[in-house]
Structure 1
Amino acid sequence: MFEMKTIAINGSPRKGWNTHILVEEALKGAASRGSETELINLYDLNFKGCISCFACKKLGGKSLGRCAAGDDLKPVLDRIHGCDALIIGSPIYISEVTASVRALVERLTFQYITYSKEKKTFLTRRIPSLLLYTMNIPEPALESAGYTAKFKAYEDLFDRVLGPAKTLISTETWQTTDYSKYEMTMFDEPARKKRREEVFPQHKQKAFELGAELIP
């Protein structure tokens, strides 16, 4: 029996917190459907974003359709190339995914993108993906803050280059166990703690379900 492989990327520097938790739940969902799983903590790796060397576009080149940069991300990209499903989680910092996740997205997608009229991607099969985001802002502010359009753009990029993509958004997350230690008076700590206890478990369940849906 052919065993499927799901790779999950934790794009948060904070292990054990919101993003990491949701990524692990999604991975458990994939595992519940019989998939082999692997979790990668992106901030453990030393790498940079795309350097636009065009080695992945060079006709006849040994790296055609694949990133040629030789750093810690290269073997991860190679494993993603051979996987059957992909999960990427990121907190939102200054209205964007983390710098490491942005670098990953550049390297992962650009290697497959062509400038050909005949074909749009070098990837010869479809890899479904789940994109998970955690953030401070309330859900009603997503559209006015431009987040709805941003997440849709990432989903469209993955759908076009890799395969069908779905998105899970977790808002008003619990940032620390003691808000009094930091300059954070704009946040209602009891309300955030209550949301962590009552709403975040729903997000965990949804992550599990979406992770399971990645595996046919």
Structure 2
Amino acid sequence: MKTIAINGSPRKGWNTHILVEEALKGAASKGSDTELVNLYDLNFKGCISCFECKRRGGKSFGRCAAGDDLKPVLDRIHTCDALIIGSPIYISEVTAAVRALFERLTFQYITYSKDRKTFFTRRVPTALIYTMNISEPAIESMGYAEKFKFYEDRFNQIIGPAKTLVSTETWQTTDYSKYEMTMFDGEARKKRREEIFPQDKRKAFELGAGLV
């Protein structure tokens, strides 16, 4: 069995990366082979709407035709048994790199046939991990619950059953005084990182183990 994890954060060693690695450790604990991809190490773009993945008789029918750094990752995801994708929330959305991955991964399998069939004939369980600055109660009031449900539903529809983990009020920097960030209490965030974030790590581990 093979589990692929995507770190969609440009910041290695920080919140999203840590939780993605914990989820991957969870999958490994159940005997899965694992692979971690740092998305910001790759040179790629989002979908260019060439429609080669839908051209009847074409050499890329059902698969993305773009020949960049993301293509071999998409090929490996195509044959993996479980998938983990992590992203921080930037300006109310997943990172640009994760959004581009989402376009390329899902659009290649979508058809415009009347029966709504897809080109992806397997079901791959997926874990979606988000880290964000707001508090947990604000997820609903600020509309994030609907956004997370959108991604979960899309993966359920096209790739396989998806589950979501959200880590809130994350520690953004080791020294808040260096930045224009006075709306946050840096010491409180550091304490939360020490006391609450380990619980999120445990949840991520369990989420990854549950994929296998």
- With structure 1 as the length reference, what TM-score do the two structures score? 0.97
The equivalent residue for 1:60 is: 57
Asked if 1:116 is matched to 2:113, the reply is: yes
The equivalent residue for 2:210 is: 213
The percent identity for this pair of structures is 83
Which among 88, 92, 101 is matched to residue 89 of structure 2? 92
Runs of 4+ in 1 over 4 A off after TM superposition: none
Which among 160, 175, 179 is matched to residue 178 of structure 1? 175
1:170 maps to amino acid: S
- For each residue in 1:39-90, what CA deviation from the matched residue of structure 2 results, as whole angstroms up to 9, or x when unmatched? 0000000000000000001111111110000000000000000100000000
The equivalent residue for 2:188 is: 191
Name the SS of the counterpart of 1:65 in structure 2. Answer: coil
- Computed over aligned residues only, the root mean square deviation of the Cα atoms, in angstroms, reads 0.6
Unaligned runs of 5+ in 1: none
Question: How many Å separate the matches in 1 of 2:117 and 2:105?
Answer: 15
- For each residue in 1:119-143, what CA deviation from the matched residue of structure 2 results, as whole angstroms up to 9, or x when unmatched? 4210111011000000000011111
Which among 18, 43, 46 is matched to residue 46 of structure 1? 43
Asked if 1:10 is matched to 2:4, the reply is: no
Is the Cα contact below 8 Å between 1:120 and 1:161 reproduced in 2? no
- With structure 2 as the length reference, what TM-score do the two structures score? 0.99
Question: How many Å separate the matches in 1 of 2:62 and 2:3?
Answer: 21
Question: How many Å separate the matches in 1 of 2:39 and 2:148?
Answer: 20
Question: How many Å separate the matches in 1 of 2:143 and 2:47?
Answer: 25
Question: How many Å separate the matches in 2 of 1:120 and 1:43?
Answer: 32
Unaligned runs of 5+ in 2: none
Residue 189 (structure 1) shift: 1.0
